[in-house]
Amino acid sequence: VQLQASGGGLVQAGGSLRLSCAVSGRTFSSYAVGWFRQAPGKERLFVAGISRSGGSTSYEESVKGRFTISRDNAKNTVYLQMNSLKPEDTAVYYCAAAPIINTLVVITRLTTYTYWGQGTQVTVSS
């Protein structure tokens, strides 16, 4: 399984970006997917996650109401729509996937994820 994150860039505070995570393989619908971010000198932290079916989602507290995670199993892609961006959202954003049986479980723990993408830089200027 390979993950390719894209969609990052430079945006002013209050702006929006949509990140995409394309996942290779025929069993994409068997994976829970999450987005994490890592600011310089800091640890990688959970941002948002989505279950296999897309029926369950979870968000880190600071992004609730601003970010939306979604998936299109027909396109093997997970999206992270980021609105009302703030300078503190600046980080490298990574997508990750993990095989799971339960279709409604969202994985928030970093160490549970098996596969990782290469990351995409998001910079929010004030």
pLDDT digits (tens, 9 = 90+) for 6-63: 999 999 999 999 999 999 987 899 999 999 999 999 999 999 999 999 999 999 999 9
Confidence band for 66, pLDDT divided at 50, 70 and 90: very high
Q: What's the CA angle centered on 53, arms 49 and 59, to 5 degrees?
A: 20
Q: How many helices (H) and strands (E) does the chain have?
A: 0, 11
pLDDT averaged over every residue in the chain: 96
Q: Rounded mean pLDDT of 93-109?
A: 96
How far apart are alpha carbons 20 and 8 in whole angstroms? 9
